[in-house]
Amino acid sequence: MLLVVISSVSPHPHHLFEYDELSQYVDSHQEEYVQTLRDWVAVESDSSDVLRRPDCHRMMDMTAEKLQAIGGKVELVDIGVQELPDGKTVALPKVVTAQFGSDPSKQTVCVYGHVDVQPAKLEDGWATEPYNLTDINGHLYGRGASDNKAPVLAWIHTVEAYQALSIDLPVNVKFIIEGMEETGSNGLDAMIVAQKGTFFSDVDYIIISDCGWLSRRPALTYGTRGNCYFFAEVEGPKQDLHSGVYGGTVIEPMTDLIGILGGFLTSLSDRIGKILIPGIREAVAPLSDEEWKMYQDIEFDIESFKSKIGVSQLMYSNKVDLLAHRWRYPTVTIHGIEGAFSGPGSKTVIPAKVIAKFSIRQVPNMDPAVVKKQVTDYLYSVFAKRKSPNKLKVTMIIGAKPWLADTKHPLYEAGKAAVKRVFDVEPDLIREGGTIPIAKTFEDVTGKSIIMMPIGGFDDGLHSQNEKMSRYNYIEGTKLFIAYLHEVAHLKKD
């Protein structure tokens, strides 16, 4: 009787939350959840390899089917084609949108995620087949398990649990799932702009679960770095040459390339890792006292961080410096050189054309358009000083912006309450060194607030060998999302 009276006053009273029932449902369905993750990981949806594009298309279809099966209003949105370096085009994977509920009296959240993955091969040093999800001691190993297939599934299972138990969703839930995140979310910006007044018109908040905790303590993420990704191509002779026959006569493209990249950073003997490209460091927002204090209070064990990645020394030896340089200062990384001899054994070759792949993680207040100019100007000027007859071509293929949220926003208070309910601890408030290319666009175009709610573990090996998602994080993470929807239902509309 009492329940009836209260429910007529408030449509979503706190104490009517059937958390235990939902949580038990999740526990009792975990084998199915793992099997679905296995099916998804089996699809080699590597968006960086155009030869895998059919797999990317299949992955989007599977995502749409899964959302349809639980009653979503689903659309596969055509976002056009990708232009390849040789001028050809290839279809971009369609974007999946879905909608569950359209009650105007409820909040509407939009969950963003991606189902494409980074490349992975057994011979890279994986202990198990990367596309065969393998459970070892409760850790589910497979490419894309943590980044980002399990979190996307955990959100889908969240909606499914409410529905299976005939419990009204406390908020309307929308999904936007893409298949090009790992290469810069090609085509997605334009789609968001196009759907601003339609799909996004009733969205109140955007939730992204495409990142990880910093330690064993659950976390909420309030910032990501951006990424400017470059190709620097040096072309010389018309074909590869024998280094004994031609070495000493030809000005080698590889030597030019190493020469121009070699000046990116100061070495250990100077101030460690300082980026030397003019203008880059000057744009960085200064570290405030408040931020310093936040980093100081975060749980982060330097020794276990070192042992996890197998190094004896890091760039910095104190926690605040390490976190600040991981999250809120720019870095440059040289990822690889296409055209270089890289196979096992030895080959005495002079490569005719080499393409360096490097990227700069940028931070507030850097701007990708400015970084593009700074980097290209720098490389062309250093190259000009070499007076080489070889040809240099620099292109920026990704220009993703950094994103930073206000941790005082009620979305974060709701996040803290959900974490407390499921894990019985306060979450760490952290930033992410990686990039969610679309985050800033969501904010700029829709004007909606974003929260990043990770469920991945600190040691999931994203983009690396032996990526994994632990069962614990997958299952408890689903419960976290269930609890979070309940908390968001009680927020005042923005």
Ligand X SMILES: CC(C)C[C@H](NC(=O)CN)C(=O)O
Q: What is the binding site for ligand X (CB under 6 A)?
A: 147-148, 182, 184, 210, 227, 398, 400, 434-437, 462
Closest approach of Cβ 197 to ligand X, in Å? 27
Least distance between ligand X and beta carbon 477 (Å): 15
Report the residue number, 154 or 260, with the smaller CB distance to ligand X: 154
Helix (H) or strand (E) holding 350: strand 349-350
- Cβ proximity to ligand X: between 149 and 421 the closer is 149
Minimum CB distance to ligand X smaller for 325 or for 386:
325
Distance CA 111, CA 153 (A): 11
Task: List C-alpha distances in Å: 438 to 176, 208, 446.
Answer: 11, 10, 12
Q: What 8-state DSSP symbol labels residue 493?
A: P
Out of 46, 160, 178, 181, pick the active-site residue.
Answer: 181
| Residue 50: C-alpha distances to residues 45, 161, 184, 210, 231 (Å) | 10, 36, 14, 23, 17
Backbone torsions φ then ψ of 428, nearest 5 degrees: -75, 145
The token pair at 471 is: 């069962």
Closest distance to ligand X from the beta carbon of 17 (Å): 31
Closer Cβ to ligand X, 261 or 398, answer by number: 398
Alpha-carbon gap, residue 60 to 76, rounded angstroms: 8
- Cβ 151 to ligand X, closest distance in Å? 9
Contacts of 377-381 spanning 24+ positions with Cβ under 8 A = 378/277, 378/278, 379/232, 379/260
Mark whether 444 is an active-site residue: no
Both structure tokens of 65: 């089917």
* Burial state string for 343-370 with b = 16 or more CB within 10 A and e = fewer than 16: eeeeeeebbbbbbbebbbbbbbebbbee
Residue at shortest CB range from ligand X: 434
Q: CA-to-CA distance for 136 and 167, rounded, in angstroms?
A: 34
- Our CB check for ligand X shows the closer of 258 and 334 to be 334
Alpha-carbon 360 to chain mean position: 15
Give the nearest distance from C-beta 462 to ligand X in angstroms: 6
End-to-end CA distance of the chain: 34
Nearer to ligand X, 227 or 449 (CB): 227
User: Of 44, 46, 116, 487, which is the active-site residue?
Assistant: 116
Active site residue 116: yes
Rounded Cα distance, 86 and 72, in Å: 39
CB of 368 to ligand X, least distance (A): 11
Residues that are catalytic = 116, 181
